Amino acid sequence: MGMSDQAPWTNSLPPDDAAFLALVTTAIADLPAPFDAHARAVAVQVVDFAPDAILDEMGIEDPFELTGLYDGTPLPDKLGEQALGPDTIWLFRRPILDEWVARGDVPLGHLVAHVYLHELAHHFGWSDADIARIAPWMD
């Protein structure tokens, strides 16, 4: 099921964590090889907001400003190293929903995929500047 095939939200409740994970699964399925295999090796967690400790560490006061986070060792840095833990992409549901409502013209699946792919790009060692230059879609 591609991004354009996703049904719009028709009920009165916002999509829950499981619905967000389903949107990520769709985004991974749409990735070309070999990116899809690498994406499946990175855990995905959905929570409402980033923890205060993360926000403090990043110097972010408003928790709605952070929609996602890559937590791990980028692939280029893993050569010859033993990873200390699993790489994880964190998606922060409430800020993503807030941005989705504020934009009003982007399907939720596209926004979730964008945030996810932005964080996945960090897994491949891309900086924010690299991502903005290569994939400026909504940044």
CB neighbours of residue 115 within 10 Å: 25
Q: Which amino acid would we find at residue 51?
A: P
- Please report, in tens digits, the pLDDT of each residue of the chain (139 residues total): 444 445 455 556 788 888 889 999 999 999 988 888 889 989 999 999 999 999 999 999 999 999 999 999 888 787 665 556 689 999 999 999 999 999 999 899 999 999 999 999 999 888 888 888 877 665 4
Cβ contacts of residue 78 below 8 Å, gap of 6+? Answer: none
Whole-model pTM: value is 0.82
Fold of 15-72+86-134: Zincin-like (3.30.2010)
* Domain parsing of the chain, residue ranges: 15-72+86-134
